[in-house]
Amino acid sequence: MPELPEVETVRAGIADHSLGRLVQAVRVVDARSLRRHLPGPAHFETALTGRALRGAYRRGKYLWLTLSESDGTLADEALVVHLGMSGQLLVRDEPGGVSGSDSEARAAFDEQPRHLRVALELGPVGATSAAGATRGAASTSRESTGQRLLFVDQRLFGGMFLSPLVPDIPAAVVVNEVAPDEMGQSEVPERFLVPEAVKHIARDPLDEFFDPAAVRRKFLRTSSGIKKVLLDQSVISGVGNIYADEALWRARLHYAKPARTLSAAQTRELLEAVTQVLRESLAAGGTSFDALYVNVLGESGYFERSLNAYGRAGEPCHRCAEAGRTSLMVREPFQNRSSYRCPHCQRAPRSR
């Protein structure tokens, strides 16, 4: 399942290739991918058409695109995308020209990917006043042609939907010395607006307003195993099974150790490990075990080459090997999934 690095890679790709483009048409191929858009497919198509893609944002594993109205003002709702287990957002640039090679490019552009669920037909950058509100006039061949933004999802656990934008101003921020509940939406900076459906998701370790002290307080309030808490998106977002195992290995913690038993130093070390592994994976373009995770250009990430724990059952623990010890990684059942750990470095808690 795509976790923070994979979703951030997709978000960055959309920001680089698709912002400032007008949604000229929407084609819903499979309405099951819109099950969270309660008004239905027809409303989804109408609501998006004529608006421009304005900004690309992410919190945890959710990403959303803010929209511009025809007059360039910010729309009061955003397009939320959740990739689920196998979702992909793919960019297809419309080719220009009439040569033989361009004809082949046109055929590739028109080819419908397998498991296509939703397609957005986008115009050139800056082609309308709405698009121009976000990006300047077209300056490259890519920006001067149309584009398709395709939502592909084999397993149908992901989806797209529109959600109203609501303020979510961090406690550490004061905007014009006005209390957030006294401000109108138009007065709140766009980066402090989130889709209502996403507001319950906690900030992730790469968020500039991530609060380790708040996470520590949540740890102290629960006796649940630390891995279960790491996977709770209301405590800390963006971490899934892969990166939880990697961070726990780096912090030398067993997945079942009760969260409230972690010392302040252990909590700090664990959160630092989570942050490091997320940053390293993001730099590598994410983790791709199969063809289901790719970036917007269809390219795979390669962080799986750097994994120390996940998927390494029966292989030597890298840390133990460096210390001259022999310890083989083990795979153990965990909430209908698996956990990978080193029996020497990550000893089971006594209460287990």
How far CA 15 is from CA of 66, 154, 221, 276, in Å, comes to 11, 24, 38, 24
- 179 has a pLDDT exceeding 60: no
The pLDDT assigned to 231 comes to 97
149 token code pair? 């933004």
Range scoring the smallest mean pLDDT among 202-216, 270-284, 294-308: 294-308
Backbone dihedral angles phi then psi of residue 131, each to the nearest 5 degrees: -65, -40
- 289 has a pLDDT exceeding 70: no
Q: Which residues contact 92 (CB under 8 A, 6 or more apart)?
A: 109, 147, 148, 149, 150
184 within 8 A of 54, measured Cβ to Cβ: no
- 248 has a pLDDT exceeding 50: yes
14 token code pair? 């959309």
**Residue with more model confidence, 96 or 18:** 18
**The amino acid at 265:** A
Average pLDDT over all residues of the chain? 88
Coil, strand or helix at 63: strand
For 26-66, the pLDDT digits (tens) are 999 999 999 999 999 999 999 999 999 999 999 999 999 99
**Residue with more model confidence, 5 or 42:** 42
- The conformation of residue 87, written as its DSSP 8-state character, comes to E
How far CA 23 is from CA of 10, 13, 18, 79, in Å, comes to 19, 17, 10, 12
For 123-155, the pLDDT digits (tens) are 999 876 454 444 444 455 668 889 999 999 999
The mean per-residue pLDDT over the stretch 272-291 comes to 80
The mean per-residue pLDDT over the stretch 146-168 comes to 95
Give me the active site residues, please.
2-3, 61, 337
The mean per-residue pLDDT over the stretch 101-122 comes to 83
- Distance in angstroms (rounded) separating the CA atoms of residues 239 and 67: 28
- Distance in angstroms (rounded) separating the CA atoms of residues 276 and 213: 18
The pLDDT assigned to 126 comes to 80
The pLDDT assigned to 138 comes to 42
